[in-house]
Each structure stands twice: as structure tokens, then as C-alpha cells.
A = this chain, B = another copy of it.
Amino acid sequence: MTAMRIEILNTGTELLLGSTANTHGTWMGQELVKLGLRVQRQLTVPDGVAIEEALVETTRRSDVVLVTGGLGPTSDDITREALAKVLGVEMIEDEAALRSLYEFFEKRNKPMVDANLKQAQNLVGADNLPNKNGTAPGIYAPPRLGGEPSCAVFLLPGPPRELYPMFHDEVVPRLKALAGVEAIANVVELKFVGIGESDFHDQLDEDLANIEGLEVGYCARLGEVDLRLIGSDEVIAKGRKLTEKCFSEFLVSDDGANLETVVVRGLEAAALKMTTAESCTGGLVANRLTDVPGASAVFTHGFVTYSNEAKTQLIGVSEETLTAHGAVSEEVAGEMATGALRVSGADIAVSITGIAGPGGGSDEKPVGTVCFGIATHAGVETFRENHPRNRLDFKQQASQRALDLVRRTLLKNQ
């Protein structure tokens, strides 16, 4: 880890009004961790004079300031001018930037308006950072551009599709040069499904803390925990060994792959197909599977059987079972899975039927009750669980469990 002090400055009134989520901090934080670098602070200020104040503050305090936003063509886009003022350098029209602007509009058969001209302005002595996906080029002001301060400043566009490629192509090489090393950190992220952060605290935290030089971080999301190990190869291997000993069955991936990707990969590797019979999750499991490129090779049919009638009509759940046990029952979940398997011709079927709420609960089956079925040619297994959460979290948690049942089935059949 280098001790380079890096600060993120996000500009934009919309960020403080809450009308746009600030995802830049998160994204850049992740990218910098991969380089072995750390963000020390992140600051959001509105458009206008606050930008200049913030530039003074941040450039005095840090080695690198990554600024986003305020490079557009309209009157409230003043980041360039503010930086020139703070650094005490003149502005000049950048030829390359101007050419790119003309090309951008030409390609789109649109006339360039005068307002865009200011986007070709750069600080004297600063680099122009080409923008592949928009009109706003970035700017790199190296340390001591105006004599003081010693801080390097990147001005970057706000829209992610413009920011991300510019960050990779233009910012990363310069950051590496500034850090004076090929500062690729050793970072391993282990993703676990089916256990919570508290399980780690209870069973593993202390042992991991005893490994000298190992930095440990957790990130808990609904139904999953990411464990981040940072350090030398040796200490990471130690930490990993400890962790896998404790929680191997819950370990889903070590390369950042999410659960649906792991399931699709597992099906591909086993040359198997799966299908879904969803009631309360309403298509979420199918949707997650088809988020993965190449899902069509392993997933062909999905059933959203939200009503009893659909369960009977589409996948052959018997009316007797529905009447005797209710739609939310292990019996119905079992018939949903076997029925979907039969109709689709897949090798594995997972079913979900539950009470997402807010209405529909009873004493015997409160909101949050959910039953799963997992069917293969070898037979069917069913499960009943309770996840009392709000509707969307419940759906997410149930879809997580359904996908994990498929993952576990694939492991067993390896």
C-alpha cells in the first residue's frame, strides 16, 4: 500500500438533492483498491462557488484529487474555470479537444452549438483526456502546475459511460506513475451465500486478525457476504485457508462472480439445463439467470405461475394438492419443480412459492413464509423457510436461496 493521499470530489447539485445516486465514489473506490490505492476522503458539493472552495481545500490536503462533473456545455458547468483560478494558470483552446468535438458532432450528423466550444478549453500545461463517449474531454493537471500546490488533479466527466473508459485509459496509467510503482495490490474477494457477517465475527474474526499483515474487510448484502483479503500472497493464502476450512460449503466464488454467474457457469460445465417455476419471486430468478451472457445455453423455459390456476395449467400442480396444503406448501413447491422439469425437458428445476406481503399472511403461514422445491431426474427435495422482510427484500432473498439450491445441487452431482 502506498501512502498517496487520494481524495474524490464529486460536483453536482443533483447529487445533494438526492435525485441522482452518487455511484462514482463506489466505483472509483473499487478501481483504486485493485491498484493498491486508497481513497482517504470523498466530498460532494453543489454546482457553483462551492466547487472552487472545495478545490482549494482538497488540493491543499491531498496528493491526488479526482474531480467528477461540471465539464458540460451549460452555464453551471464551471469546474475547468474553477481549477484554473485555484491553480492560478491561464486557459487556452486545446486543438485536439476542438477537433474531437467537431468529429463527435459530425459523426452524429448534428450541428455543434457555440456552447460546446468551451469544452475545448484547457489549462495551460495540463493534459487533455479524450472522451470516447461524450463531448466533455477530461483534464489532467500535474503536480505544481501553477507552482503550488503539489497535488495532481484530474477533472473527469460525470456520466458513467464517459467516466469509466476515461478512468481506465487515462487516469490509471498516470496514477501508477504518480505512485511510483506498478502498484497492483494483492486483493482476493471471496463471496459467500447462506451465511451472514455475524457468522464470520463469531467464528473467524479473531483468527483472521491474528494473521500479521493481513487486512480483512467485509461487505454484507442481502443473502451474501463478501470477504476481502488484502496483503502478501502468503498471508492471503493463510487467510483463505482458514476461511475455507470454516465455511467451504458457502463459498460461491473467488473472482467476484455473482451467484447467477456461478450457476450459469456450473450448468455450462456440466452440460445441464435448468428451468424455473416461480410464484412469489415473480420472474426474478429467471431475470437474474438471463442477466448472465450465454444464459441461453442453459436456460430455455421459465414459468411464472403467480395464480393457482397457472400452477395447474402450465406445470401440472394438482388441484387436490393446492386445496389440501395451500399454494404456499412444500407439497406444492415439490409439484411445481417436478412439473416444470417435465414440461421444459430441463435437468434441474427450482421452484419458489411464498408470501411476499404486505398482505396475504396468516398465523400458520405468516408473511415471509416461503417453500422451495428442487427437482432433478433423481427426484425432488423441498424446503420451508421464513424470511420476514419487506416485499422486495423478500423476493431477493428467496431468489438468492433458489439459485443457491441449484448451485448446491450441481456441486453434489459433480
Contacts and interface: CB of A to CB of B under 8 A. Distances in A.
A302 B304 contact: yes
A293 B359 contact: yes
A376 interface: no
A28, A44, A285 pick with most chain B CB within 10 angstroms: A44
Interface size on A, as a range, is 35 or more
B16 A27 contact: no
A303 B20 CA distance: 33
Given A290-B306, A302-B282, A306-B296, A16 B43 contact: no
A45 B286 CA distance: 39
Q: Looking at chain A's contact residues, is the secondary structure mostly helix, strand, loop, or mixed?
A: mixed
27 contacts: A15-B25, A15-B26, A16-B25, A16-B39, A16-B42, A17-B30, A18-B29, A18-B39, A19-B226, A41-B43, A41-B45, A41-B50, A43-B43, A282-B286, A286-B286, A286-B304, A287-B287, A287-B395, A290-B306, A290-B356, A293-B357, A293-B359, A299-B306, A300-B307, A300-B309, A302-B304, A314-B314
Those 4 A-B pairs whose CB atoms lie nearest each other, nearest first: A282-B290, A18-B29, A302-B304, A283-B286
Interface of A: 13-23, 25-33, 38-46, 50, 74, 201, 217-219, 226, 228, 276, 278, 280-287, 289-291, 293-296, 299-307, 309-310, 313-314, 343-344, 356-359, 391-392, 395
